[in-house]
Each structure stands twice: as structure tokens, then as C-alpha cells.
Amino acid sequence: MKMIAAVDKNWAIGNKGELLAHLSRDMKFFRAKTTGNTVILGRKTLATFPGGKPLKDRRNIVLTHKADFDGNGAETAHSVEEVLELVKNENTDVYVIGGESVYSQFMDYCDTAYITVFDKTFEADVHIENLDMSDKWQLKEESEAYEEKGISYCFRTYVKK
């Protein structure tokens, strides 16, 4: 299982239900990694997608505690164990794509993390674990720096030790 996220200098991932930044190269990177694969996300993350609809060309699994939740076409699961059961025979990559609680619940199951790192601090109300400070993860590679909309950023790949 893999995770993919975009973070600022404080490992923040969002504010008031929105991403910190919408950068073209980052969105293309996300699409390239996840298209044709399975994505695991929370109910609130699904609500932020256009029309609250699942991402196209991906198997979407929404983790929610709401028993009567309509995934708008996405599969739903009500526990980590149920998600793991749904993906145990998956023959594509499985990506954890957010939000905060979904990342924390699946962090131990991930072996690779694709993190876009913004060289900036944003106003934010949700964060994920700082992999640079974790003794479980190591930085495997880092891209060159890019700049878009006045934001400098790079792509990092972390692997579980």
C-alpha cells in the first residue's frame, strides 16, 4: 500500500476542507500515480471532489463511520479491517489519499509515500505525520525544485525502513 499527499513545511495537508494549493504539476503527478489504481479516502475528502463524486478511472473506497453513507458510486467500508479485506486480492496499486484520519489509520500498512513538499507554511487545520522525523521512514529520492503560483516545491519518495 502507498500513500500520496501534499504538505507544507509543517506537514499540514489542508485548511477548512480544502487543499493548501492547487498546482498543475502536482495534480498531474497525483493523476499519473493513481489513475488505473485503487484509492482509499475518507468521506470528507470525497465531499471535496467535484460534485462529491469519486475520482474517474480509479477504484474508490471510502472509509466512513456513517452506516447509511451513499458513496455516490464509490465503494464504502466502515473499518480499517473492512478496507483491508476489500483490497487483499487487489492486482493494482492501492493509494491512501486522505484525509488526516485516513492517513493516520493506514500509515502502518503503507510501504511507500509520495509526498509533494511545499517550501512554504500555510494556514492549516489538518496535518499528517512528519516522515522526516519518523524512525520508521527514510527519504529515498527527491526531485528537482519546481515553482508555480509563487510556491517552490519538490516531489519526495519515502520508503518504510
Q: Point out which residues pair with 6 in neighbouring strands.
A: 116
List, for residues 68-93, the tens digit of each pLDDT value.
Answer: 898 889 999 999 999 999 999 999 99
Q: Is 57 helix (H, G, I), strand (E, B) or coil?
A: coil
For domain 2-128, the question of CATH label 2.40.160.40 is answered with no
d(CA 78, CA 88): 16
Cell 513538499: give the residue.
117
Residue 23: name the closest of 117, 94, 103, 102 by CA: 117
Every domain of the chain and the residues it spans: 2-128
Q: Is 111 helix (H, G, I), strand (E, B) or coil?
A: coil
* b/e 61-89 (16+ beta carbons within 10 angstroms → b): bbbbeeeeeebeebbbbeeeeebeebbee
Angle at 146 (CA atoms; ends 142, 148), nearest 5 degrees: 145
List, for residues 16-53, the tens digit of each pLDDT value.
Answer: 999 999 999 999 999 999 999 999 999 999 999 999 99
List, for residues 123-155, the tens digit of each pLDDT value.
Answer: 999 999 999 999 999 999 999 999 999 999 999
User: Please, which pLDDT band fits residue 67 given cuts at 50, 70 and 90?
Assistant: confident
